[in-house]
Chain A
Amino acid sequence: MILDAALVVLAVAAVVATVRVVVGPTDADRVLAVDLGFVVLLAALALLALRLGAPALLDLVLVGTLVGFLATVALARLAARRSG
Protein backbone atom coordinates (compact mmCIF):
# COMPACT_ATOMS: atom_id res chain seq x y z
CA MET A 1 0.00 0.00 0.00
CA ILE A 2 2.67 2.48 1.04
CA LEU A 3 4.94 1.26 -1.74
CA ASP A 4 2.14 1.77 -4.26
CA ALA A 5 1.59 5.35 -3.09
CA ALA A 6 5.34 5.98 -3.26
CA LEU A 7 5.43 4.67 -6.83
CA VAL A 8 2.60 7.03 -7.81
CA VAL A 9 4.51 9.99 -6.34
CA LEU A 10 7.61 8.92 -8.27
CA ALA A 11 5.57 8.76 -11.48
CA VAL A 12 4.46 12.37 -10.94
CA ALA A 13 8.09 13.36 -10.35
CA ALA A 14 9.06 11.66 -13.62
CA VAL A 15 6.42 13.65 -15.48
CA VAL A 16 7.75 16.85 -13.89
CA ALA A 17 11.30 16.00 -14.97
CA THR A 18 10.08 15.37 -18.52
CA VAL A 19 8.39 18.78 -18.57
CA ARG A 20 11.66 20.42 -17.54
CA VAL A 21 13.55 18.58 -20.28
CA VAL A 22 11.10 19.95 -22.84
CA VAL A 23 10.89 23.58 -21.68
CA GLY A 24 14.56 24.06 -20.76
CA PRO A 25 15.34 26.94 -21.02
CA THR A 26 19.11 26.24 -20.86
CA ASP A 27 20.93 22.98 -21.53
CA ALA A 28 22.01 22.86 -17.89
CA ASP A 29 18.34 22.69 -16.89
CA ARG A 30 17.87 19.75 -19.23
CA VAL A 31 20.89 17.94 -17.77
CA LEU A 32 19.45 18.45 -14.28
CA ALA A 33 16.08 17.14 -15.40
CA VAL A 34 17.70 14.01 -16.86
CA ASP A 35 19.58 13.58 -13.58
CA LEU A 36 16.33 13.74 -11.61
CA GLY A 37 14.76 11.35 -14.10
CA PHE A 38 17.53 8.86 -13.33
CA VAL A 39 16.98 9.28 -9.60
CA VAL A 40 13.25 8.64 -10.02
CA LEU A 41 13.94 5.59 -12.18
CA LEU A 42 16.37 4.11 -9.64
CA ALA A 43 14.03 4.71 -6.70
CA ALA A 44 11.15 3.16 -8.66
CA LEU A 45 13.31 0.13 -9.54
CA ALA A 46 14.26 -0.40 -5.89
CA LEU A 47 10.61 -0.16 -4.80
CA LEU A 48 9.44 -2.43 -7.65
CA ALA A 49 12.02 -5.03 -6.62
CA LEU A 50 10.32 -5.14 -3.21
CA ARG A 51 6.78 -4.85 -4.54
CA LEU A 52 7.16 -7.60 -7.13
CA GLY A 53 9.59 -9.71 -5.11
CA ALA A 54 12.11 -9.55 -7.98
CA PRO A 55 15.64 -9.17 -6.53
CA ALA A 56 17.14 -9.15 -10.02
CA LEU A 57 15.99 -5.51 -10.32
CA LEU A 58 18.39 -4.57 -7.51
CA ASP A 59 21.40 -5.29 -9.75
CA LEU A 60 19.82 -2.86 -12.20
CA VAL A 61 19.77 -0.24 -9.44
CA LEU A 62 23.47 -0.76 -8.76
CA VAL A 63 24.40 -0.42 -12.43
CA GLY A 64 21.99 2.48 -12.85
CA THR A 65 23.64 4.62 -10.19
CA LEU A 66 26.94 4.42 -12.06
CA VAL A 67 25.40 4.94 -15.50
CA GLY A 68 23.43 7.92 -14.17
CA PHE A 69 26.57 9.52 -12.77
CA LEU A 70 28.52 9.05 -15.98
CA ALA A 71 25.61 10.29 -18.08
CA THR A 72 25.22 13.43 -15.97
CA VAL A 73 28.93 14.28 -16.10
CA ALA A 74 29.12 13.65 -19.86
CA LEU A 75 26.00 15.73 -20.55
CA ALA A 76 27.33 18.52 -18.32
CA ARG A 77 30.54 18.69 -20.35
CA LEU A 78 28.46 18.75 -23.51
CA ALA A 79 26.26 21.56 -22.17
CA ALA A 80 29.33 23.58 -21.15
CA ARG A 81 30.93 23.17 -24.56
CA ARG A 82 27.81 24.23 -26.43
CA SER A 83 27.62 27.52 -24.52
CA GLY A 84 23.96 28.07 -25.12
Chain B
Amino acid sequence: MTASMTGGALGVVGQLLVVLGVALVAVGALGLVRLPDAYLRANAVTKAAALGLVLVLVGAAVLAPGLDAVVVLLVAAALQLFTVPVAGYAVGGAAWRARAPMDPRTQREEGTDPTDDPEDPDGGCTEGTGP
Protein backbone atom coordinates (compact mmCIF):
# COMPACT_ATOMS: atom_id res chain seq x y z
CA MET B 1 0.00 0.00 0.00
CA THR B 2 1.04 3.57 -0.53
CA ALA B 3 2.03 5.90 2.26
CA SER B 4 -1.24 7.80 1.82
CA MET B 5 -3.27 4.90 3.23
CA THR B 6 -4.46 5.56 6.74
CA GLY B 7 -4.03 2.67 9.09
CA GLY B 8 -6.36 1.48 11.82
CA ALA B 9 -10.11 1.87 12.15
CA LEU B 10 -10.29 4.98 9.95
CA GLY B 11 -8.63 3.07 7.11
CA VAL B 12 -11.13 0.24 7.44
CA VAL B 13 -14.06 2.69 7.35
CA GLY B 14 -12.67 4.43 4.29
CA GLN B 15 -12.10 1.17 2.45
CA LEU B 16 -15.59 0.00 3.36
CA LEU B 17 -17.10 3.20 1.92
CA VAL B 18 -15.04 2.85 -1.27
CA VAL B 19 -16.04 -0.80 -1.72
CA LEU B 20 -19.71 0.02 -1.10
CA GLY B 21 -19.60 2.87 -3.61
CA VAL B 22 -17.87 0.82 -6.29
CA ALA B 23 -20.41 -1.96 -5.72
CA LEU B 24 -23.23 0.55 -6.31
CA VAL B 25 -21.58 1.77 -9.51
CA ALA B 26 -21.28 -1.87 -10.61
CA VAL B 27 -24.98 -2.43 -9.91
CA GLY B 28 -25.74 0.69 -11.95
CA ALA B 29 -23.72 -0.72 -14.84
CA LEU B 30 -25.58 -4.01 -14.51
CA GLY B 31 -28.87 -2.12 -14.66
CA LEU B 32 -27.69 -0.20 -17.72
CA VAL B 33 -27.22 -3.50 -19.56
CA ARG B 34 -30.10 -5.56 -18.21
CA LEU B 35 -33.06 -3.21 -17.80
CA PRO B 36 -35.50 -3.14 -20.73
CA ASP B 37 -36.12 0.56 -21.54
CA ALA B 38 -34.52 4.00 -21.28
CA TYR B 39 -36.61 5.14 -18.28
CA LEU B 40 -35.64 2.16 -16.13
CA ARG B 41 -32.02 2.52 -17.19
CA ALA B 42 -32.15 6.19 -16.13
CA ASN B 43 -33.24 4.97 -12.69
CA ALA B 44 -30.27 2.62 -12.38
CA VAL B 45 -27.68 5.08 -13.68
CA THR B 46 -28.90 7.98 -11.54
CA LYS B 47 -28.64 5.93 -8.35
CA ALA B 48 -25.16 4.78 -9.30
CA ALA B 49 -24.10 8.33 -10.06
CA ALA B 50 -25.54 9.87 -6.91
CA LEU B 51 -25.00 7.28 -4.18
CA GLY B 52 -22.17 5.22 -5.65
CA LEU B 53 -19.87 8.06 -6.63
CA VAL B 54 -20.60 10.03 -3.45
CA LEU B 55 -19.72 6.99 -1.33
CA VAL B 56 -16.48 6.54 -3.28
CA LEU B 57 -15.59 10.22 -2.88
CA VAL B 58 -16.36 10.25 0.86
CA GLY B 59 -14.38 7.03 1.31
CA ALA B 60 -11.47 8.59 -0.57
CA ALA B 61 -11.78 11.66 1.67
CA VAL B 62 -11.49 9.41 4.73
CA LEU B 63 -8.40 7.72 3.27
CA ALA B 64 -6.82 10.89 1.88
CA PRO B 65 -3.70 12.16 3.64
CA GLY B 66 -4.03 15.97 3.63
CA LEU B 67 -6.72 18.44 4.64
CA ASP B 68 -6.87 20.11 1.23
CA ALA B 69 -7.51 16.76 -0.44
CA VAL B 70 -10.36 16.10 2.01
CA VAL B 71 -11.91 19.50 1.29
CA VAL B 72 -11.71 19.04 -2.50
CA LEU B 73 -13.27 15.56 -2.28
CA LEU B 74 -16.11 16.66 -0.02
CA VAL B 75 -16.91 19.65 -2.25
CA ALA B 76 -16.96 17.31 -5.26
CA ALA B 77 -19.29 14.92 -3.40
CA ALA B 78 -21.66 17.75 -2.45
CA LEU B 79 -21.74 19.08 -6.02
CA GLN B 80 -22.43 15.57 -7.28
CA LEU B 81 -25.37 15.21 -4.89
CA PHE B 82 -26.87 18.47 -6.14
CA THR B 83 -26.31 18.00 -9.87
CA VAL B 84 -27.18 14.32 -10.40
CA PRO B 85 -30.97 14.67 -9.83
CA VAL B 86 -31.10 17.59 -12.28
CA ALA B 87 -29.19 15.64 -14.92
CA GLY B 88 -31.35 12.55 -14.39
CA TYR B 89 -34.53 14.61 -14.73
CA ALA B 90 -33.18 16.17 -17.93
CA VAL B 91 -32.41 12.77 -19.44
CA GLY B 92 -35.80 11.37 -18.45
CA GLY B 93 -37.59 14.34 -20.00
CA ALA B 94 -35.47 14.00 -23.14
CA ALA B 95 -36.35 10.31 -23.45
CA TRP B 96 -40.06 11.17 -23.11
CA ARG B 97 -39.92 13.98 -25.67
CA ALA B 98 -37.98 11.76 -28.06
CA ARG B 99 -40.79 9.18 -27.62
CA ALA B 100 -38.50 6.49 -26.36
CA PRO B 101 -40.65 3.35 -26.19
CA MET B 102 -41.57 1.97 -22.78
CA ASP B 103 -41.27 -1.68 -21.91
CA PRO B 104 -44.60 -3.36 -22.88
CA ARG B 105 -45.01 -4.63 -19.31
CA THR B 106 -45.22 -1.03 -18.01
CA GLN B 107 -48.60 -0.26 -16.44
CA ARG B 108 -49.78 3.31 -17.05
CA GLU B 109 -52.91 5.40 -17.15
CA GLU B 110 -54.79 6.10 -20.36
CA GLY B 111 -53.22 8.71 -22.62
CA THR B 112 -49.80 8.66 -21.00
CA ASP B 113 -48.06 6.67 -23.70
CA PRO B 114 -45.28 8.78 -25.24
CA THR B 115 -46.16 7.32 -28.63
CA ASP B 116 -49.92 7.96 -28.29
CA ASP B 117 -50.50 11.39 -29.79
CA PRO B 118 -48.42 12.32 -32.83
CA GLU B 119 -49.85 15.87 -32.78
CA ASP B 120 -48.54 16.78 -29.32
CA PRO B 121 -44.87 17.64 -29.74
CA ASP B 122 -44.21 17.20 -26.01
CA GLY B 123 -46.08 13.92 -25.62
CA GLY B 124 -48.13 15.32 -22.75
CA CYS B 125 -45.03 16.61 -21.01
CA THR B 126 -45.63 20.12 -19.69
CA GLU B 127 -42.20 20.80 -18.26
CA GLY B 128 -38.68 19.54 -18.42
CA THR B 129 -36.01 19.96 -21.03
CA GLY B 130 -36.98 21.06 -24.48
CA PRO B 131 -35.83 23.32 -27.23
Residues of A that sit less than 8 Å from B by CB: 1-3, 6, 9-10, 12-13, 16-17, 19-20, 26-29, 31-33, 35-36, 38-40, 42-43, 46-47, 49-53, 55, 58-59, 61-62, 65-66, 68-69, 72-73, 76-77, 79-84
Contacts and interface: CB of A to CB of B under 8 A. Distances in A.
A26 B23 CA distance: 27
Given A35-B45, A46-B60, A55-B68, A73 B32 contact: no
B66 interface: yes
A32 B76 contact: no
B32 A33 contact: yes
B45 A62 contact: no
A6 B22 contact: yes
Given A43-B22, A43-B56, A76-B90, A17 B129 contact: no
A19 to B, nearest CB: 7
A35 B44 CA distance: 11
Contact of B66 (A10, A55, A82): A55
Interface residues of B, number: 58
B30 to A, nearest CB: 8
Contacts, number: 181
Nearest to A2: B15
Interface string B1-39: 111110000000001001101110110111011000010
A16 B22 contact: no
Given A27-B98, A47-B18, A72-B90, A65 B60 contact: no
A69 B86 contact: yes
Contacts of A16: 29-30, 32-33
B10 to A, nearest CB: 13
Contacts of B76: 42, 58, 61-62, 65
A47 B60 CA distance: 7
A58 B28 contact: no
| Shortest Cβ-Cβ A-B pairs, 10 listed | A28-B95, A80-B94, A13-B29, A69-B83, A76-B90, A76-B94, A72-B87, A80-B97, A16-B29, A28-B38
